[in-house]
A = this chain, B = another copy of it.
Amino acid sequence: MTARSAPDRLLAVLAAFDHEHPALCLTDISRRAGLSLTTTHRLVGALTAWGALERDGAGVYHVGLRLWELAALAPRGLALRQVALPYLEDLYEATHENVQLAVRDGTEVVYVEWLSGRSAVGVHIRVGARWPLHATGVGLALLAHCGPEVQEAYCAGPLAAFTPYTLTDPVRLRRVLAEVRRTGTAVSDRQVTDDALSVAAPVRAADGTVTAAVSVVVPHDAARIPVLGPAVRLAARGISRALGWQPDGAESRGAAR
């Protein structure tokens, strides 16, 4: 580990923090980063002085406000969320169910926004959470609009199962992706947890490429796909327009179906 470069060591300290470990003491950071206590102490000091980390009264470190301010500039993070939020709010007001916005990062979806009514069903998804593309509605909406080679590589790879309903058969997955492109809607039925169903639609950037997906998660038994589909597609189109997308005939018909 001493062979690691200075930037790598500093980033290893930041990488020590995740959703399972949002608060760490110096020794935890040292162990998780694989760095000596001396080095960790020096790097944590620099990060804390800068504001990337914050030290609480008990001497425990947390991710700092400065990092959060910087992250607000991420085009695929808060910046996208800022454009999308009014439309997500409208979707929430229309459905009062969990509403989500996600982007693709390699073979996973990352949730960049999540509006959850206190009344809505509890789902194990939070801002920053990741899931494999094939398991979620937003993931299927994103994968269905990737280049053919990306889709092929994904379908050929191992498809993890989270419930008995998770799509793990490549042939079936390819058929589902074609259906998503045809209808403009992706449905994940109990693929993540055996009680939830999500309905998703793709969000397009100004150049027409699919850059994000919107979804609503509802209890499987109460699922009203015919009602939710149009609402989710409308929200997705609203965000796409706000991003500068101009529907042409084909896309327009596809997404409006």
Which residues on A are within 8 Å of B, measured CB to CB?
A: 5-8, 10-11, 14-15, 17-19, 22-23, 42-43, 46-47, 50, 52, 54, 62-65, 67-79, 82, 85-86, 89, 92-93, 103, 105, 110, 112, 114-118, 126-128
Contacts of A43 in B (CB 8 A): 7
Contacts of A103 in B (CB 8 A): 65
How far in angstroms is the closest Cβ of chain B from A209? 11
A5 CA / B76 CA spacing, docked (Å)? 31
A191 CA / B74 CA spacing, docked (Å)? 30
A54 CA / B76 CA spacing, docked (Å)? 10
A193 CA / B116 CA spacing, docked (Å)? 33
The reply to whether A73 and B62 form a contact with Cβ atoms under 8 Å apart is yes
Contacts of A70 in B (CB 8 A): 14, 17, 63, 67, 71
Across the interface, A75 reaches (CB within 8 A) one of B50, B62, B74, B127, namely B62
